[in-house]
Structures are given as structure tokens and as C-alpha cells.
Amino acid sequence: MNWNWLFTHLAAGLLLPPLNLLLLGTAGYWQARRRPRLGLSLLGLALLGLWLLATPWVAGRLLATLEPPYAPIRGDEAEAIVILGGGLRYDAPEFGGGDTLNARTLERVRYGARLQRLTGKPVLVTGGAPDNESAEGPLMKAALEAEFGVPVAWVEERSANTRENARFSAPLLKAAGIRRIYLVSHVWHLPRAIPEFEREGFGVVAAGTGYQSSGDSHFFDFLPSASALMSSYYACHEWVGRVWYRLRG
């Protein structure tokens, strides 16, 4: 077990929705008898925060704070494509009981495959096994080659986080003379990921996927949904991650 990864994820869980709001509501419940005004205020804040974060309108605007403007890829801006892992789904019975890519990673892999066919550039996949399960990198390579028909030139499988994605990918790329890369991830993750690869000396071209629709708001955008709460979680996770990386230097 990677203890640094475990501590980081436990700390993040305490800071991020919905657990932070549930803890706030619990504190309000215990204060309600002794200090009714404070207790009810905390309960009200927790419920209001949970409602707002679960609405598509709020979730969309939180993600918009992280999304760089879309720029079409020409094909001559970089020398290689780097695809970042986004997690796995374990013990999938429909895949023979083995581990497989989760929806986030598969979305990144799909766009990386499209980018490779567009540009013809070599591909590096990066993702380790911080929880001592399967490493993401080899599973990403297998999916790209077997399901998308895209060759993978390099596999990085030691990293436990975005910073390590960059740190452990750098030697593989530099040994091949690569200095500029297309970085494939969800668009809301790129503001945190790009500086990490730039720290390693690479020029980075953003190749984001998962842009949110910017259409007009309607009534249902203000009704809570589980998917909107998940989007709010991703946005909050990225902001907390960016602050944490800045504090660590």
C-alpha cells in the first residue's frame, strides 16, 4: 500500500463533498440541543451546500472555472501524445473478472486514440497502482492496441498521482528526444496537470476531453442530480489539488 496516496485520499475525502457537508450536518445535529441556533444554522448550511453542489447549474459553473478554451489540434504542435490515467474498475465480471478501465480513463483513451490517428504521433500512457491492484498503464496500452488499433510506444506504470505521472514519464520521453507533448486528460484536470509536465521541462499542448455544454440554462439545471454532484466533486477536487501542489512547491 502506498501510504502517501492513502493519506492524501483520506485528507481529500474530509475536505470534499459530500463528506465535508455530511460532517458539517453531523456537527449541527450534535449542537442542536445545547446551542439550537448554531446547530440549526450548521444543518441548514450543510443541506443548502449539498443541494447547490448537486444542481447541474452550479456544477457546470464550477467546472467552467477550470476549463481552458478549446483550441483545435493541427497535428504539428508536438512530438508525442501523453494520456493520463483516470482510474480503474475492479473485478469486472463481463471482462472475465479482471480489472478494466473506468469511464474516465476510457474517455481519455478514446480521445487519445483519435488524436493519434489525426497526428500520427507516438503514444505514452501513464498510470500506476497506488492501491496495490492492477496498474493503469498496461491496461490502457491493451485497450488502445486491441480495441482502438493504436500502437503504444511507452508505458509508465509506477505513478500514484498527477505529479508522479509527469516525473516518471519524463525519462521515457527524454530518452527518445521528445520535448513537446500533447497532454490528454479531462479538460478540468489539465490546469493541474500541465504545470507538472512543464516542471519536467516539456512544452505542453493541451488536448482536453470532456468539455461541458455551454447551452442556455433551463428549469432542470436547478434540480439536484447524482451526476451533477459528481461533477462538483471533480471541480472541488481539482481546486484542492492545485492548492496542495502549490503548498508543496
Question: Contact 88/139 with Cβ under 8 angstroms?
Answer: yes
Does residue 218 sit within a domain? no
Q: Percent of the chain beyond pLDDT 90?
A: 84
CA atoms of 174 and 163, how far apart (whole Å):
17
Task: Note down the domain range covering 139.
Answer: 80-209
Residues in CB range of 235: below 8 A, 6 or more apart = 59, 62, 63, 65, 66, 188
Same domain, 87 and 118: yes
Identify the CA nearest to 64 among candidates 248, 234, 205, 223: 234
pTM: 0.93
Buried b (16+ CB within 10 A) or exposed e, 54-67: bbbebbbebbeebb
pLDDT band at 219 (very low <50, low <70, confident <90, very high): confident
Same domain, 112 and 170: yes
Does residue 27 sit within a domain? yes
pLDDT band at 54 (very low <50, low <70, confident <90, very high): very high
CA atoms of 158 and 168, how far apart (whole Å):
7
Does residue 30 sit within a domain? yes
Does residue 72 sit within a domain? no
The domain total for the chain is 2
pLDDT at 34 over 70: yes
First to last CA, the chain: 25
Does residue 74 sit within a domain? no
What was the pLDDT predicted at 143?
Answer: 98
Residue pointed to by grid coordinates 475525502: 13
pLDDT at 6 over 90: no
Question: Residue 114: is it exposed, middle or buried by C-beta count within 10 angstroms (0-12/13-18/19+)?
Answer: middle
Same domain, 161 and 43: no
Identify the CA nearest to 123 among candidates 108, 104, 134: 108
pLDDT digit string, tens, across residues 106-138: 999 999 999 999 999 999 999 998 776 799 999
Residue pointed to by grid coordinates 439550537: 36
Same domain, 167 and 107: yes
Same domain, 23 and 92: no
CATH value at residue 173: 3.40.50.620
Does residue 217 sit within a domain? no
Q: Which of 47-56, 67-76, 194-203, 214-223 has the lowest mean pLDDT?
A: 214-223
Q: Tell me the one-letter amino acid at 177.
A: G
All three cell numbers of 129? 497502482
pLDDT at 1 over 70: no
Same domain, 55 and 85: no
Q: Assign residue 178 a region (left: φ > 0; alpha: ψ between -120 and 50; beta: otherwise).
A: beta
Does residue 73 sit within a domain? no
Same domain, 176 and 56: no
Phi, psi at 195, each rounded to 5°: -60, -30
Same domain, 188 and 145: yes
pLDDT band at 213 (very low <50, low <70, confident <90, very high): low
Biggest CA-to-CA distance, the chain: 67
Same domain, 173 and 114: yes
pLDDT at 186 over 70: yes
Does residue 44 sit within a domain? yes
Same domain, 133 and 168: yes
Same domain, 62 and 84: no
> Per DSSP, which regions of the chain are E strands?
80-84, 88-92, 98-101, 123-126, 154-156, 180-186, 203-209
Same domain, 49 and 92: no
